[in-house]
Amino acid sequence: MTEPGDHMPDREALAAEYVLGTLPHAERLRAEALIAEDAGFRALVEGWQNRLAPLNDDYTEVPPPEELLGRIEDRLFPAPERPHSRGWLWGALAGLAAVALVAFVIPAILPPSGPPAITATLTGDGQPLVIAANYDPATSELTVERTAGPAAETGKDYELWIIPAGQAPISLGVVGEGASVLQLADLPAGSTLAITLEVAGGSPTGAAQGPLLVAAVIGDS
Partner 1 sequence: MADDPVAELIAATARADRAAFRALYHAASAKLFGTCLRILKDRGEAEDAVQEVFTRVWLNARRYDATKARGMTWLIAIARNHAIDRLRARPATAAADDTTTDLPDRSPGPEAQVLARSEARRIADCFDTLEPSRAEAIRGAYLGGLSYEDLSRHHDVPLNTMRSWLRRGLMKLKECLEA
65 versus 126: smaller Cβ distance to partner 1: 65
Give just the sign of the alpha carbon dihedral 26, 28, 32, 33.
positive
Binding of partner 1 at residue 66 (CB under 8 A)? no
Q: Give the shortest CB-218-to-partner 1 separation in angstroms.
A: 19
Binding of partner 1 at residue 139 (CB under 8 A)? no
Going by the DSSP 8-state scheme, the letter that residue 14 receives in this structure is H
- Rounded CA-CA distance 175/157 in Å is 7
Going by the DSSP 8-state scheme, the letter that residue 61 receives in this structure is P
Assess contact for 17 and 49: CB atoms under 8 A: no
4 versus 155: smaller Cβ distance to partner 1: 4
Binding of partner 1 at residue 80 (CB under 8 A)? no
Binds partner 1 (CB under 8 A): choice among 33, 38, 68, 165? 68
Name which of 212, 221, 158 is nearest 187 in CA terms. 221
Binding of partner 1 at residue 54 (CB under 8 A)? yes
- Rounded CA-CA distance 169/160 in Å is 10
Binding of partner 1 at residue 155 (CB under 8 A)? no
Binds partner 1 (CB under 8 A): choice among 46, 104, 128, 138? 46
Binds partner 1 (CB under 8 A): choice among 3, 37, 81, 153? 3
**Residues across the chain:** 221
- Rounded CA-CA distance 119/99 in Å is 20
5 versus 112: smaller Cβ distance to partner 1: 5
Q: From the CB of residue 121, how many other CB atoms can be counted at a distance below 10 Å?
A: 17
User: Which stretches of the chain bind partner 1, using CB under 8 A?
Assistant: 1, 3-8, 13, 16-17, 19-25, 28, 32, 46, 49-65, 68-69, 71-73, 75-77, 160, 172-176, 180-183, 201-202
